[in-house]
Amino acid sequence: MNRNIVLIGFMGAGKSLISKSLAMKLRRPVVSTDQKIVEKEKRTINEIFEQSGEQYFRQIEKDVVARLAGEENLIIDGGGGIVLDPQNITFLKANGILFYLFATPQEIYRRTQREAHRPLLQVKDPLRRIEELFGRRESFYAQADYTIDTNQKSPDLIRDEIITLFNAAPPVRFQQEE
């Protein structure tokens, strides 16, 4: 079985950048859960949030995760809130190794402050919103198999750290039915 490499973490942690770098190095396809949602819905993430709400978005996200988790040999770039549903973690861990790309709230703010495509940050005080969301999500991110600190590290260093950990991960063991 060719397990998936799954990147989770807060928006701006570097998931998209690192997933592309991993794909080039490992010659594996990258699948972004957010991009799959956009393709399925034929509207942007912002439009989905504005027109249908976050709860609707999370249900579509769960459907996409369930489908992707059954595939093999992928690099999955998970949306920032993918961990909010415990079933998503269960699905993704069934055939994947989860890497939490950690960045401090201040670093996330620095990386995202000029991006208008982040619906959860379209507020008066985005840093405070990041700190608030980060605080609520941190325990969910901690369920990853590995945590990679992305603060002050080059994308190549992060990529190589993930590859080393992935290659050293124990193989999946299947229980035989009696």
Contact 150, 158 (CB under 8 A): yes
Q: Residue 166: is its pLDDT beyond 80?
A: yes
Domains parsed from the chain with CATH numbers:
4-168 (3.40.50.300)
Per-chain mean pLDDT for the chain = 89
What's phi and psi for 13, nearest 5 deg?
-75, -15
Q: What's the pLDDT tens digit per position in 28-54?
A: 999 999 999 999 999 998 899 899 998
Given a cut of 50, is residue 106 above it in pLDDT? yes
SS3 sequence of 40-53 = HHCCCHHHHHHHHH
- pLDDT band of 149, cuts 50, 70, 90: very high
**Cβ atoms within 10 Å of 164's Cβ, excluding its own:** 9
Which of the four pLDDT bands, split at 50, 70 and 90, describes residue 178? very low
- The arithmetic mean of pLDDT across residues 82-111, rounded, is 93
pLDDT category of residue 139 using cuts at 50, 70 and 90: very high
Average pLDDT (137-162) is 94
pLDDT attached to residue 110: 86
The string of pLDDT tens digits covering residues 46-83 is 899 899 998 999 999 999 999 999 999 999 999 888 99
Burial class (CB in 10 A: 0-12, 13-18, 19+), 124: exposed
